[in-house]
């Protein structure tokens, strides 16, 4: 069923790309209705335009919050051209036809990403735009809806090549896209208010994720698996070099940055190296090069092909050191121009400049055909959280070492044991089915790369079910232990520490990571 556009309502937030559309509408003699800034934009192009206020005989009110919410506007969009009674009522109430609706939405998600100002965010909740889009989409048999500037090229082609005539399947396709667009928009609003709700926590009763920004990835976890990323990577990074990010790249980058952000309060440069979501190098240093060299020394074998992230502008000295290592991805907040030029000499090396952006506080995981939703683990221990349970009190250096190790353990696959000094990961045991095996793995790795564990700190993501871990740690020279506690046999581990001059602190917080 072919329809010809005789009139159009145009009211958009983003004006870029709109000009050729307006000129095509004018060429075809299509009546244009508009309001506010869009009306002024059209007038400045020298194209005739009728204000919405002229139709409704009602001004925009409440600072522009109410402009198009009026029966004459919605009637013009919604009335059914093939229903005689609708035709009679449209004539009786002098409701004009509106055959084309070009309306987008206020940038809600973009505003949330840029500010914490609640009033500013609320004002970017679109009301009229959503209503207009849904109305036009509902009446797709008679009305064409264009709800995004990404659809302008198709609309321009329709106007030029078909002189404003559209087929039913074209209108229905755009209606589907419109409902997807508004569903995504409403989901973003819902999730923002759920996340920022300061009242007593209640588990969400609905799972809503709306994101129309789909990026098809090279492949999934393995080459035979297809994968798509839904989200806005540009909000977090600018890619400066390299091939497209893959599924595994994105998983590893998030793991690396989540760990790096544990050191956000540190004035010192921090460097993190990740392989398969687990840290193989973490260090603080007096300068970035020192931090990188310390991080690399923890496990230079695993660093090969890894993901590298840092919290300071990347300088030339560090770039020269990095350039000798094969790695997949490097993320930094900024780069010295000559350092970037050097690193870009490897064309496939992915280089990302990180933006200051807000990360969601909720996590999702698909299981058994459903979705698990949980709060992110945002708890990080401080010295105030530590309860000393041994007679041996920790020194200030041991406290710093234990807290450093605990930050890494929180972001390492369970079961894990992390061995560290106050500014460097020495070794870790990751993803083991028993805690003692994780410890043995960590000790073996530390010795393999030449580290002495005398006076090192040991962190565990969960309690010790037996005293075997502290016994093995003591044999390796470890003197300070941090763990959540909670085992019915905690006292066995405490007793051993007391008998052997070790210090142990309990945090009361478990950090499983599956």
The full DSSP string for 404-444 is HHHHHHHTSPSS-EEEE-SSBEEEEE-S-SSHHHHHHHHHH
Contact by Cβ (8 Å): 247, 227: yes
Provide DSSP, 9-28: EEE-S--TT-HHHHHHHHHT
Q: Which residues contact 309 (CB under 8 A, 6 or more apart)?
A: 253, 256, 257, 260, 271, 272, 274, 330, 331, 332, 354
pLDDT at 402: 98
> String of b and e for 119-152 (b: at least 16 CB within 10 Å)?
eebeebbbebbbbbbbbbbebbebbbbbbbbebb
Dihedrals φ, ψ of 486, to 5°? 115, -5
Q: In whole angstroms, what is the distance from residue 28 CA to residue 327 CA?
A: 57
Q: Name the pairing type of β-strands 237-241 and 7-11.
A: unpaired
The pLDDT of residue 265: 81
* Phi, psi of 100, rounded to the nearest 5 degrees: -135, 130
- Specify the pLDDT at position 198: 62
451: tokens are 């580290």
- Tokens matching residue 213: 């920004």
The pLDDT value recorded for residue 168 is 94
Tokens 């809806």, located at residue: 145
Pairing of strands 214-216, 228-230: antiparallel
Position 214 scores a pLDDT of 79
DSSP reduced 3-state for 93? coil
| Spatial separation of the C-alpha atoms in residues 192 and 204, rounded to whole Å | 13
Task: Classify residue 70 as exposed, middle or buried by CB count within 10 Å of its CB (0-12, 13-18, 19+).
Answer: middle
Find the farthest-apart pair of alpha carbons in the chain and give their distance in angstroms, rounded: 96
Distance separating the N- and C-terminal Cα atoms of the chain: 54
Residue segments in the chain with a per-residue pLDDT below the cut of 70 = 198-212
Nearest CA to 41 among 54, 29, 31, 51? 51
Give the model's pLDDT for residue 205.
62
pTM of the model: 0.75
d(CA 435, CA 481): 14
pLDDT score for 206: 65
Residues ≥6 apart with Cβ < 8 Å to 150: none
Please identify every residue annotated as catalytic: 138, 276
């Amino acid at each position: 069923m072919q329809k010809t556009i005789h009139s159009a309502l145009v009211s958009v937030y983003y004006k870029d790309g709109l000009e050729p559309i307006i000129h095509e509408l004018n060429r075809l003699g299509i009546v244009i209705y508009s309001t506010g800034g869009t009306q002024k934009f059209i007038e400045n192009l020298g194209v005739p335009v009728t204000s919405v206020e002229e139709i409704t005989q009602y001004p925009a009110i409440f600072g522009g919050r109410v402009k198009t919410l009026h029966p004459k506007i919605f009637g013009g969009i919604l009335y059914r051209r093939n229903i005689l009674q609708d035709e009679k009522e449209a004539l009786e109430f002098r409701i004009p036809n509106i055959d084309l609706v070009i309306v987008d939405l206020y940038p809600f998600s973009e505003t949330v990403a840029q500010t914490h100002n609640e009033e500013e965010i609320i004002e970017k909740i679109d009301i009229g735009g959503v209503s207009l889009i849904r109305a036009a989409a509902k009446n797709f048999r008679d009305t064409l809806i264009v709800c995004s500037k990404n659809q302008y090229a198709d609309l321009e082609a329709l106007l030029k090549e078909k002189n404003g005539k559209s087929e039913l399947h074209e209108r229905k396709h755009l209606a589907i896209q419109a409902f997807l667009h508004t569903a995504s928009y409403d989901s973003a609003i819902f999730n923002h208010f759920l996340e920022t709700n300061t009242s007593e926590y209640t588990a969400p009763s609905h799972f809503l994720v709306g994101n129309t920004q789909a990026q098809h990835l090279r492949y999934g976890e393995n080459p035979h698996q297809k994968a798509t990323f839904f989200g806005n990577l540009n909000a977090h990074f600018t890619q400066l070099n390299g091939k497209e990010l893959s599924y595994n790249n994105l998983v590893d980058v998030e793991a690396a940055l989540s760990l790096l952000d544990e050191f956000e309060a540190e004035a010192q440069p921090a460097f993190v190296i990740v392989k398969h979501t687990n840290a193989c190098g973490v260090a603080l240093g007096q300068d970035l090069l020192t931090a990188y060299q310390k991080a690399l020394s923890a496990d230079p074998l695993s660093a090969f092909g890894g993901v590298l992230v840092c919290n300071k502008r990347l300088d030339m000295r560090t770039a020269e050191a990095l350039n000798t290592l094969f790695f997949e991805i490097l993320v930094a907040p900024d780069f010295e121009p000559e350092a970037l030029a050097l690193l870009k000499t490897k064309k496939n090396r992915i280089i990302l400049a990180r933006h200051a952006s807000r990360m969601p506080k909720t996590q999702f995981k698909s299981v058994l055909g459903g979705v698990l939703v949980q709060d992110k683990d945002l708890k990080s221990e401080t010295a105030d959280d530590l309860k000393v349970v041994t007679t041996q009190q920790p020194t200030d250096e041991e406290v710093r070492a234990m807290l450093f190790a605990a930050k890494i353990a929180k972001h390492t696959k369970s079961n894990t044991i992390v061995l560290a000094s106050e500014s460097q990961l020495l070794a870790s045991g990751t993803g083991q089915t028993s805690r003692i095996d994780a410890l043995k793995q960590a000790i073996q790795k530390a010795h393999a790369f030449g580290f002495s564990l005398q006076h090192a700190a040991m962190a565990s993501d969960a309690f010790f079910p037996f005293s075997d871990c502290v016994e093995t740690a003591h044999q390796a020279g470890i003197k300070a232990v941090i763990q959540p506690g909670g085992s019915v046999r905690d006292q066995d581990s405490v007793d051993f520490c007391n008998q052997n001059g070790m210090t142990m602190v309990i945090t009361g917080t478990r950090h499983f990571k599956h």
